[in-house]
Amino acid sequence: MKAVLCRKYGEPDDLEVGEIDPPALTPDGVRVQVDAAALNFPDILMVQGKYQYKPDFPFSPGMECVGRVTEVGADVPDIQPGQRVIAHPWVGCFAEQVVAPRQVVFPVPDHVGDAAAAGFGLTYGTVYHALIDRGGLQPGETLLVYGAAGGVGLAAVEMGKLLGATVIAAAGSPEKLAVCESYGADHLVDYSKEPVRERVKDLTGGRGADVIFDPVGGDMTDTTMRCINWDGRLLIVGFAAGRIAELPVNMILIKGCQVVGVAYQRFSRLQPAQSRANMAELMGWWAAGKLKPHVSMTFPLDKAVDAMKAIVNRKSTGQVVVTT
Ligand SMILES: NC(=O)c1ccc[n+]([C@@H]2O[C@H](COP(=O)([O-])OP(=O)(O)OC[C@H]3O[C@@H](n4cnc5c(N)ncnc54)[C@H](OP(=O)(O)O)[C@@H]3O)[C@@H](O)[C@H]2O)c1
């Protein structure tokens, strides 16, 4: 089968497209003929050797996909060949076939397009876990989202509105903020031009945001303790900017706030029943038209490197998808 291959850690340009044997079926595995796979920022970290999970070489990046089931393992009674599914096995989806453990495979209706389906699981699964399980976001609270036009950022804007929060979207250009506005953001902050701390204080009557969703890190994290409300929750989601900030613990005390880690992969491995329950609720919201995944770019498998460069160069909004 054709696959994008990482033979050593490096940059997206070091990836190859080649032919390899299809992966072996496991007893709890579901073989999926991949139609489309989503690209997430952690795919790039995995190729660079900076992600916490380090698969053996050669591996194909691609954490999640949509496609048809062609074969199931002996211990999989409830998924049949021919079913259309989304799957997030965390690696291997930039290939014509992938074998995913049953617990991360979910049937999807035929009317949902490939591009929208490919990136649904990991993005919305992360945001649900962040805002609800970890952040306890309540209706009427103020949610501040950094990197708000990115993959998880835009889903956080959308889900924040669905949960009844007032959403402040912070991103790096007017074009990106226009996308956030179209997903319901109440207030827009362009952090390439405006001081985030002052704007958030102005927008919240001096109190600061109740929940801050931070997938960017670096300078953005540095500002959070100055614009978080009493009893607020800072959700540490990622470090797209590269630098891992250090927080002044005295400010955590003074603000009476919590700094909360969000690790969706570990959560779904360590708490599979809760993770599947979350996904069931997300699928219900999706079927009811309450969630609309935004895909800004699609690339063929041969051009997966260009897809990665679009993310690295901050060109995309929402999700980026690779089709096989
Ligand atoms: N904790 C978890 O379980 C989990 C799950 C999924 C993703 N993540 C993490 O969340 C972060 C975002 O992932 P994603 O898939 O949403 O990525 P994405 O679509 O590329 O979004 C990242 C956003 O970060 C902003 N950004 C600021 N500085 C940047 C820089 N130097 N390089 C690239 N982007 C920069 C960009 O917006 P502006 O241009 O507007 O600043 C961009 O839209 C990553 O760190 C990823 O590892 C964590």
What pLDDT is stored for residue 283 in this prediction? 93
Q: Are residues 52 and 145 in the same domain?
A: no
* 110 lies in the same domain as 154: no
Q: Is position 230 within any domain?
A: yes
What does the pLDDT read at residue 111? Answer: 82
Q: Ligand 1 atom 47: the closest Cα is on which residue? A: 42
Q: For the segment 114-140, what is each residue's pLDDT rounded down to a tens digit?
A: 999 999 999 999 999 999 999 999 999
Residue 110: pLDDT band by 50, 70, 90 thresholds? Answer: confident
What is the C-alpha separation between 277 and 186, in angstroms, rounded?
A: 29
Residue 281 lies inside a defined structural domain of this protein: no
Number of domains in the chain: 2
- 109 and 52: one domain? yes
Boundary residue ending a domain (265, 285, 303): 265
The residue out of 248, 265, 282 marking a domain boundary is 265
> In sequence order, what are the beta bridge partners of 143?
167, 211
277-300 pLDDT, tens digit each:
999 999 999 999 999 999 999 999
Output the CA 308–ligand 1 centroid distance in Å: 12
Q: Are residues 194 and 221 in the same domain?
A: yes
| Domain, as residue range, for 45 | 2-119+293-323
pLDDT at 34: 98
Per-residue pLDDT band for 76 (boundaries 50, 70, 90) equals very high
Tokens 């993770």 belong to which residue? 275
CATH number at residue 178: 3.90.180.10
pTM for this one?
0.97
Answer whether residue 283 is part of any domain: no
Q: Which of 314, 320, 322 to mutate to test the pocket of ligand 1 (most atoms within 8 A of CB)?
A: 314
Nearest to 28 by CA among 78, 94, 84: 78
